């Protein structure tokens, strides 16, 4: 199972190790650590094998692109599916498919029949499985522990990924050097079986019955994208993510070539470099909470970005294994600082009903930037050299800082839990389009404040599926304003009722505080046939 950016939960009061009191969390956590160790071993084996099959920088960089491109292509579909189906069953099916592919890869490598094209295809297939696992796996974490332990559970998940990052590459490098290239691939296949066994053992509590029919996949995808488009805090996270990962991808894409061509090392050195990144990430995770408290999310991201630029410059300009290993430590700490801060901001913008889809969109931007960047840096390195590609990336990531700084990262103060404060609407055919009219009586002295708040209201309505939103003024009574919008169906409007959050209720309360009346609400649909 491929390591992916993890969700970050709201503040909680549980102790750092308290999630391990829950047997389900403990078993699944241990199985994912083992699986991620196997994934990192597979990644090291694939990157090193490609340096032997096709040592062109462009081809080697395509291994990284083949790993991340599936997330770009399939994450939104996966997020929609994870919000609709039984997540445990989804995880079981996908992990079984991954195990089959992993065993086939090991067999092909053992037979000496692997080619560059086959390696890229298998890497793409494994990445596709990871794309479908990530949103579902993130979404089950709140089901494993009490709410007060949720933050600690997420922190332990992040720690587990970084432990695997530290162990997997080092073990892979030793195995390749001592026993041959097949072993990282074979052990990755075995590690997937451990996750399957854990999921079979886990028996989650039954989900409460749905009040409304489940969404269709296409409609759920559209709803997730629409929410991202009309939710400013999430859009800002996506801008910052694209600006960082596009250039930071040079580190991951070029690292096998740095180990082999720039430093003249072997698989052991490559594994050691990746292990140093993992160790740096674990150390960064330990100091990050206090650092982020002092600096805030924006400055933490800037610090991590500067650290990444320094790493790229050191690898390009300071040849030597010791400086490269030190750069790996800095790279790990910088990577976790940026990744964690962006995840916190993304999580704070997402209510539960769209959580998997919103995080899937974040993963899409993450993987798209990583894939596009990997291909670009491979091309530049082919035309020039690996050090030149690293220097261009270091310059670009520094230039991106002032260009994206306007996209300020939000905090986690908003309450995105459902408010359920709207009265039950009238009954209507679920497939009929709906139009909603709301009349406001606005005193002249509050007119400007009302208009400003209604712009926030417009974005909120549209995030929930409204279209044709308009605010009109009564020509005969200037203090009377009428808000109206359409929704695709009465069922869509019922979902809107079910999803309005406490933060949106607070906005509506501020609007009502400006009025002389209780707003008059009218729902209209197509006339019923007699």
DSSP-based three-state secondary structure for 514 = coil
Choosing from 404, 420, 450, the residue where a domain stops is: 404
E strand or H helix at 224: helix 217-230
- Grade residue 268 by pLDDT with cuts at 50, 70 and 90: confident
332 lies in the same domain as 220: yes
295 lies in the same domain as 385: yes
Gyration radius from the chain CA atoms: 25
What is the arithmetic mean of pLDDT over 197-214? Answer: 80
Position 15 in a domain: no
Position 14 in a domain: no
Position 349 in a domain: yes
132 or 3, greater pLDDT = 132
What is the arithmetic mean of pLDDT over 426-433? Answer: 75
449 lies in the same domain as 394: no
125 lies in the same domain as 218: yes
What is the arithmetic mean of pLDDT over 416-435? Answer: 79
CA distances from 38 to 42, 187, 283, 326, 464 (A): 6, 6, 22, 25, 41
The owner of tokens 């509506």 is 508
Segment among 34-48, 129-143, 389-403 with least mean pLDDT = 129-143
Share of the chain above pLDDT 90, in %: 33
pTM: 0.78
488 lies in the same domain as 370: no
What is the b/e burial string over 378-411, where b = at least 16 CB atoms within 10 angstroms of the residue's CB? bebbbeebbbebbbbbbebbbebbeebeebebbe
pLDDT, tens digit (0-9, with 9 covering 90-100), for 91-118: 999 999 999 999 999 999 999 888 888 9
Choosing from 404, 426, 454, the residue where a domain stops is: 404
Q: Kindly report the CATH number assigned to the domain that includes residue 287.
A: 1.20.1250.20
What is the arithmetic mean of pLDDT over 2-9? Answer: 41
101 lies in the same domain as 169: yes
pLDDT at 7 over 80: no
* Cα–Cα dist 334/151, whole Å: 21
Position 412 in a domain: no
- Grade residue 134 by pLDDT with cuts at 50, 70 and 90: confident
438 lies in the same domain as 373: no
459 lies in the same domain as 366: no
- Grade residue 410 by pLDDT with cuts at 50, 70 and 90: low
- Grade residue 208 by pLDDT with cuts at 50, 70 and 90: low
How confident is the model at residue 529, as a pLDDT? 60
355 or 242, greater pLDDT = 242
How confident is the model at residue 470, as a pLDDT? 95
What is the arithmetic mean of pLDDT over 174-189? Answer: 87
pLDDT at 14 over 60: no
How confident is the model at residue 8, as a pLDDT? 41
* Cα–Cα dist 417/325, whole Å: 45
How confident is the model at residue 155, as a pLDDT? 62
What is the arithmetic mean of pLDDT over 341-369? Answer: 82
What is the arithmetic mean of pLDDT over 178-187? Answer: 88
Q: Kindly report the CATH number assigned to the domain that includes residue 462.
A: 3.30.70.100
How confident is the model at residue 428, as a pLDDT? 67
pLDDT at 458 over 60: yes
Domain total in the chain = 2
Share of the chain above pLDDT 70, in %: 92
How confident is the model at residue 285, as a pLDDT? 74
pLDDT at 311 over 90: yes
442 lies in the same domain as 382: no
How confident is the model at residue 275, as a pLDDT? 81
pLDDT, tens digit (0-9, with 9 covering 90-100), for 362-395: 888 888 888 888 889 988 998 999 999 999 999 9
How confident is the model at residue 150, as a pLDDT? 65
pLDDT, tens digit (0-9, with 9 covering 90-100), for 145-157: 886 776 567 667 7
E strand or H helix at 470: strand 467-473
How confident is the model at residue 324, as a pLDDT? 93
8 or 269, greater pLDDT = 269
Position 419 in a domain: no
- Grade residue 26 by pLDDT with cuts at 50, 70 and 90: very high
Q: Which two tokens stand for residue 527?
A: 């006339």
Position 10 in a domain: no
250 lies in the same domain as 104: yes
- Grade residue 411 by pLDDT with cuts at 50, 70 and 90: low
Domain range for residue 481?
434-525
pLDDT at 12 over 60: no
The owner of tokens 């600690």 is 152
How confident is the model at residue 2, as a pLDDT? 40
* Cα–Cα dist 498/527, whole Å: 25
Choosing from 404, 419, 449, the residue where a domain stops is: 404
Across the beta sheet with 467-473, the strand order is: 467-473, 480-487, 434-441, 520-525
270 lies in the same domain as 340: yes
How confident is the model at residue 412, as a pLDDT? 53
* Cα–Cα dist 428/411, whole Å: 39
What is the arithmetic mean of pLDDT over 260-277? Answer: 84
379 lies in the same domain as 455: no
How would you write 109-149 as a 3-class SS string? HHCCCCCHHHHHHHHHHHHHHHHHHHHHHHHHHHHHCCHHH
pLDDT at 406 over 90: no
Quote the mean pLDDT of the chain: 85
Position 42 in a domain: yes
175 or 94, greater pLDDT = 94
Chain centroid to CA 336: how far? 13
* Cα–Cα dist 371/61, whole Å: 9
Position 132 in a domain: yes
Q: Which residues contact 344 (CB under 8 A, 6 or more apart)?
A: 8, 292, 297, 409, 412
- Grade residue 425 by pLDDT with cuts at 50, 70 and 90: confident
What is the arithmetic mean of pLDDT over 61-85? Answer: 82
- Grade residue 16 by pLDDT with cuts at 50, 70 and 90: low
Q: Which residues contact 102 (CB under 8 A, 6 or more apart)?
A: 42, 126, 185, 188, 189, 192
């Amino acid at each position: 199972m491929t390591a992916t950016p993890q969700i970050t939960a709201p503040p909680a009061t549980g102790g750092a190790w308290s999630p391990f009191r829950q047997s389900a969390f403990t078993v699944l956590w241990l199985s994912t650590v083992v699986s991620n160790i196997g994934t990192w071993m597979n990644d090291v084996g694939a990157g090193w094998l490609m340096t032997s099959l096709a040592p062109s920088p462009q081809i080697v960089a395509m291994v990284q692109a083949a790993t991340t491109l599936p997330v770009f292509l399939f994450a939104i579909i996966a997020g929609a599916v994870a919000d609709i189906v039984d997540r445990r069953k989804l995880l079981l099916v996908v992990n079984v498919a991954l195990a089959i592919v992993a065993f086939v890869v090991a067999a092909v490598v053992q037979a000496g029949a692997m080619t560059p094209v086959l390696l890229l295809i298998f890497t793409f297939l494994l990445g596709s499985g990871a794309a479908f696992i990530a949103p579902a796996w993130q979404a089950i974490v709140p089901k494993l522990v009490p709410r007060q332990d949720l933050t600690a559970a997420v922190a332990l998940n992040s720690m587990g990924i970084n432990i695997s990052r530290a162990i997997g590459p080092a073990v892979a490098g030793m195995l390749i050097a001592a026993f041959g290239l097949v072993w990282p691939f074979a052990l990755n296949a075995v590690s997937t079986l451990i996750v399957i066994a854990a999921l079979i053992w886990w028996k989650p509590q039954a989900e409460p019955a749905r009040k409304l029919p489940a969404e269709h996949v296409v409609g759920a995808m559209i709803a997730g994208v629409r929410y991202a488009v009309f939710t400013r805090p999430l859009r800002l996270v996506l801008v910052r993510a694209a600006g960082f990962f596009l250039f930071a991808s040079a580190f991951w894409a070029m690292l096998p070539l740095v180990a082999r061509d720039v430093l003249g090392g072997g698989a052991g050195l490559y594994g050691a470099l990746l292990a140093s990144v993992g160790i740096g990430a674990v150390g960064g995770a330990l100091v990050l909470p206090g650092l982020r408290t002092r600096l805030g999310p924006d400055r933490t991201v800037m610090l991590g970005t500067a650290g990444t630029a320094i790493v790229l410059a050191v690898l390009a300009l300071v040849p030597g294994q010791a400086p490269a290993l030190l750069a790996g430590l800095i790279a790990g700490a910088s990577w976790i600082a940026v990744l964690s801060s962006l995840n916190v901001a993304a999580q704070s913008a997402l209510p539960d009903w769209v959580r998997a889809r919103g995080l899937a969109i974040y993963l899409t931007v993450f993987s798209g930037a990583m894939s596009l960047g990997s291909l670009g840096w491979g091309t530049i390195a082919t035309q020039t050299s690996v050090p030149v590609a690293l220097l261009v990336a270091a310059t670009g990531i520094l230039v991106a800082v002032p260009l994206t700084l306007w996209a300020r990262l939000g905090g986690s103060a908003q309450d995105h839990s459902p408010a359920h404060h709207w009265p039950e609407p009238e009954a209507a055919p679920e497939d009929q389009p709906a139009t909603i009219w709301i009349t406001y009586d606005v005193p002249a002295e509050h007119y400007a404040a009302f208009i400003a708040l209604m712009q926030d209201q417009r974005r909120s309505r549209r995030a929930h599926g409204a279209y044709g939103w308009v605010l009109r003024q009564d020509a005969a009574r200037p203090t009377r304003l009428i808000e109206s919008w359409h929704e695709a169906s009465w069922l869509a409007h019922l979902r809107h009722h079910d999803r309005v959050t406490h933060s949106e209720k607070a906005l509506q309360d501020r609007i009502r505080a400006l009025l002389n009346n209780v707003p008059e609400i009218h729902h209209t649909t197509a006339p019923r046939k007699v």
